[in-house]
Amino acid sequence: MEIHSDFQQKPKIMTNPKSNSSAYWKKNLQTLIFLLAIWFVVSFGFGILLVEPLNNIKVGGYPLGFWFAQQGSIYTFIVVIFIYVVRMNKLDREFDVNED
Domain that holds residue 61: 16-94
Q: pLDDT digit string (tens) for 54-69?
A: 999 998 899 999 998 8
Task: Provide the pLDDT for residue 26.
Answer: 95
Residue 7 lies in a domain: no
Domain count, the chain: 1
Residue 99 lies in a domain: no
Residue 10 lies in a domain: no
Q: pTM (2 decimals)?
A: 0.72
Q: Flag whether pLDDT at 3 surpasses 90.
A: no
Task: Provide the pLDDT for residue 76.
Answer: 93
At residue 11, φ and ψ (nearest 5 deg) are -70, 140
Helix (H, G, I), strand (E, B) or coil at 14: coil
Tell me if 76 sits within 8 A of 39, measured CB to CB.
yes
What average pLDDT does the structure give for the chain? 85
Q: pLDDT digit string (tens) for 70-90?
A: 898 899 999 999 999 999 999
Q: Flag whether pLDDT at 16 surpasses 70.
A: no
Residue 74 lies in a domain: yes
Residue 46 lies in a domain: yes
Task: Provide the pLDDT for residue 90.
Answer: 94
Q: Which residues pair with 63 in a beta bridge?
A: 58
Residue 55 lies in a domain: yes
Q: Flag whether pLDDT at 47 surpasses 60.
A: yes
- CB 100: neighbour CB atoms within 10 A? 5
